[in-house]
Amino acid sequence: MASHRRPKQPNRTRVTVLTTAAAAAVALSTHAANAAPSHKPDKDEVKAKVDKLYEEAEQATEKYNGAKEKQQRLQKEISAIQDGVARGQQELNKLRDGLGSLAGAQYRSGGIDPSVQLFLSSDPDDFLDKASTLDQLSGRQIAALKKVQGKQRELAQERAEATGKLRDLATTRTELGDRKQEVQGKLTEAQELLNTLTLKEKSALAAEQQRASRSSAERVRLGNGSSASGRAAAAFSFAQSQLGKPYFRGATGPSSYDCSGLTSWAYAQAGVHIPRTSEEQANIGTRLTRSQLQVGDLVFFFDDLHHVGLYAGNGQILHAPRTGTVVRYESMDTIGGPFMFGVRV
């Protein structure tokens, strides 16, 4: 006999969950069907991104160079102060030995005078205050004590200065590490992008750079501009002798260079010392507009002045561009950032 029991109604909550899940599945499948395949950047897009990363790496490199220069300067200053403190301590010890001899002589002649007992106090300032009431000090004793007093103050100041510079050095070393890590991160990211290119695309990019470099070199040859001065001409000539040498962050030659490393090296060979970093180099000499530039003048690019080269004439510069390149000629209009000003040293 057939059962007449009513079929069990599905649970309302369960129906809602199943309906929602089904709708989501349909939506996902529809999205997957309509989604465009992932875009692989072409060589021009990769080049633009890599150039931007190299620019950021060069910014960090110049800050790294500045921190490194500061570290070296602080280390020299601290060493000089510490040497001075050591010599001053020796002088102070001799002065104190002289006071001890005076006390010994008085003791052997019948006891130490109260004034001399104060004289040997560890606090000369306190002694002078008290000694003024004794009226028993000779001019020689007062002069000797004042020397001790002055030397102690001098040493205290020098030790405080050294302590401050040591703190500054610790901060600078931390900054140095941070900048180095930042540079390496940018370069690693750029290399990963370059690795996405095919061999044919890499060859095409290299060929483009070589054509641009040859074109700039030809424009320099045809320009035949005059130099700003004898030392500017000499600096430019020395820089020309480094054409083809690789860029390397923090390098100052003679086997590799970064941008400010090349300019500082070239001028040093001409007998002119200029600061190490592009930012510091921008603050020397006479500033120039583009129309005033002559061969050998320093030329600065980007708002923060993180790139520098030597003017080569006819709108071209000689510089160490960035990682992956060599010292070469290049048009001022293809640097990647605006020309800010020139400097005549």
Q: Which residues are catalytic?
A: 259, 307, 319
What tokens does 26 get? 């349909």
Q: Considering just the CA atoms, what is the radius of gyration of the chain in Å? A: 37
- Chain Cα centroid distance, residue 145: 48
Q: Which two tokens stand for residue 44?
A: 């021009």
Q: Where are the alpha helices (DSSP H) in 109-138?
A: 114-119, 124-131
Our measurement of the distance from residue 296's CA atom to the centroid of its chain's CA atoms, rounded to an integer in Å, reads 25
Q: Which residue has the tokens 């390496």?
A: 184
49-87 in b/e form (b: 16+ CB < 10 A) is: ebeebbbbbbbbbbbbbbbbebbeebeeebeebeeebee
Compute the distance between CA of residue 85 and CA of residue 160 in angstroms, rounded to an integer: 11
Helix (H, G, I), strand (E, B) or coil at 4: coil
Decide: 311 and 293 in contact? Cβ < 8 Å. Answer: yes
DSSP letter string, 229-276: SHHHHHHHHHHHTTTTPBB-TT-BSSS-B-HHHHHHHHHHHTT----S
